[in-house]
Amino acid sequence: MVGYAFMGRAHSQAWRVAPRFFDLPHDPVMQVLVGRSPERAAQAARRLGWAEVETDWRRVVERDDVDLVDICTPGDTHAEIATAALAAGKHVLVEKPMANTLAEAETMAAAARAAAAQGALSMVGFSYRRVPALALARDLVAEGRIGEVRQVRAQYLQDWLADPDAPLSWRLDKARAGSGALGDIGAHIVDLTHFITGQRVVGVSAMLDTFVAERPVATSTGALRGTGGADRGPVTVDDSAVFLARLSSGAPATFEATRFAWGRKNAIRIEVSGTAGAIAFDFEDMNVLNFFDAADDARTAGFRRVLVTEPDHPYMAAWWPAGHGLGYEHTFVHQVVDLVEAVAAGEQPTPSFDDGLAVQRVLDAVERSAASHSTFTPVDDGG
């Protein structure tokens, strides 16, 4: 595994727990953790359960005792590490967004196709696909339980940047993160829309805004928010991404991604209205899927609050008795399970690098649309 911050911790926990709760076809060995500082990497390795430490990922991707490389670094390093690992015949898991630019994503997807022909498989870490309630939503839509998809409304709302004194971090630096709310969290709701509806976003009309142009330079880092000093530096990414979209069927969709929504901590909200019903989800109540069936008797119809903790629900048979819910970290465990099972079967895991590329194409279109204001129609002010 390369990197050991927030995502590295989430992935490490998943690699350790997955074989203890699921019958995996392979038993993952947490062999080597890569970090630039030998001391800090060694400390992280001890805590997270990795056997060894390396300071240069290039040495690791060539090693005979490494089968899979898990990339948990900021986006500016994804393309280089992933393509080198695939070329060395390793399976690859890469955090989202897959890349910082469309060109990098195209290179990575091409490398993944070539490597797959040689048996090296790859996956993008869109972990929310593995929330049981969202996997159930996808199954219900695929089974036609809400009919044809008419409209999608998707939001990803956080508030860890709403305070203008929240310090800078790599997530606010375009060179390292590629974009702001758009790629960090907007990418998740684009991927979830692709996943749940089985359709792709084919066009957008977008607005990107940066509300706070300068912030204190960080003197220490936290999982998301560190502490700041007296010096200030520029924010070079968007704080908010709002866009209208068309899906491949022609259905309209709306998207909003922001880290400025006070009071919303990790509110991934997605609602899909179909011709025969609807599904609605909010990650802040992640064990629940709301389901509306338009065929119900109008006198008693309403959204059913389905507690997605039954053994019949996706992933749930391996966990606790019904009603004993799951949390954020379990999505990463399920990701490991699906990845290891696909690798053992020699099948392409999903989301593939081509799925990651499809999301990257949307992010790129959003940036181009916002920059051109091409579809922005001013309201007649009557003057």
Residue closer to ligand SOE by CB (options 159, 310) is 159
Site string for ligand SOE, 148-167 (x = CB under 6 A): ----------x---------
| Interaction residues for ligand SOE, span 198-227 (CB under 6 A) | 224
> Could you write out the three-class secondary structure of 217-245?
EEEECCCCCCEEEEEEEECCCCCEEEEEE
Q: Which two tokens stand for residue 329?
A: 């970290």
Residues 184, 191, 256, 367: which binds ligand SOE (CB under 6 A)? 184
Q: Which residue sits closest to ligand SOE, CB atoms considered? A: 184
What pairs with residue 308 in β-bridges? none
Burial of 350 (0-12, 13-18, 19+ CB in 10 A): middle
Backbone φ and ψ for 127, nearest 5 degrees, come out as -65, -25
Residue closer to ligand SOE by CB (options 61, 363) is 363
Q: Does 267 bind ligand SOE (CB under 6 A)?
A: no
Q: How many residues does the chain have?
A: 383
Q: Does 5 bind ligand SOE (CB under 6 A)?
A: no
Q: C-beta of 73: minimal distance to ligand SOE in Å?
A: 12
Q: Does 185 bind ligand SOE (CB under 6 A)?
A: yes
What is the rounded end-to-end Cα distance, in angstroms, of the chain?
61
Residue closer to ligand SOE by CB (options 120, 185) is 185
Residue closer to ligand SOE by CB (options 184, 282) is 184
Q: C-beta of 259: minimal distance to ligand SOE in Å?
A: 6
The site for ligand SOE, by CB under 6 A, has a size of: 6
| Interaction residues for ligand SOE, span 29-88 (CB under 6 A) | none
Burial of 25 (0-12, 13-18, 19+ CB in 10 A): exposed
Q: C-beta of 241: minimal distance to ligand SOE in Å?
A: 12
Q: How many CB atoms lie within 10 A of CB 223?
A: 11
What is the CA angle 319-4-21, rounded to 5?
Answer: 15
**Binding region for ligand SOE (CB under 6 A):** 6, 158, 184-185, 224, 266
